[in-house]
């Protein structure tokens, strides 16, 4: 099962977004977001929700609790 970092990297790439744009959408700097994708930092619950909304998937999918990206 993909890790959190792998999932958000794949989702970002599938949307054609840069790390800078995603960071700005979360209200964090690009460097912090890069660390999310590198597995060095974990986002707050608020930023997990923002990522789920941005990528249009469930938070459970991003967290690896489900392999189904669909929101319920």
Q: Which residues are within 8 A (CB) of 36 and not within 5 positions of it... i.e. 6 or more apart?
A: 4, 5, 8, 42, 43
Q: CATH number of the domain that 8 lies in?
A: 1.10.260.40
Q: Classify the phi-psi angles of 42: left when phi > 0, otherwise alpha if psi is within -120 to 50, otherwise beta.
A: beta
Span 34-51, pLDDT tens digits = 999 999 999 999 999 999
Domain count for the chain, please give it: 1
- Of 71 and 2, the one with more pLDDT: 2
Span 2-32, pLDDT tens digits = 899 999 999 999 999 999 999 999 999 999 9
For residue 69, being part of any structural domain is answered with no
pLDDT at 68: 84
The mean pLDDT value of the chain amounts to 95
Q: What is the value of pTM for the model shown? A: 0.92
| Domain range for 11 | 4-63
For residue 25, being part of any structural domain is answered with yes
For residue 71, being part of any structural domain is answered with no
């Amino acid at each position: 099962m993909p890790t959190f970092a792998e999932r958000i990297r794949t989702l970002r790439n599938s949307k054609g977004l840069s790390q800078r744009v995603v960071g700005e959408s979360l209200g964090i700097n690009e460097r912090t977001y890069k660390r999310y994708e590198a597995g060095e930092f974990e986002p707050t619950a608020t930023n997990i929700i923002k990522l789920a909304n941005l990528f249009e998937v469930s938070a459970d999918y991003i967290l690896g609790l489900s392999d189904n990206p669909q929101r319920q």
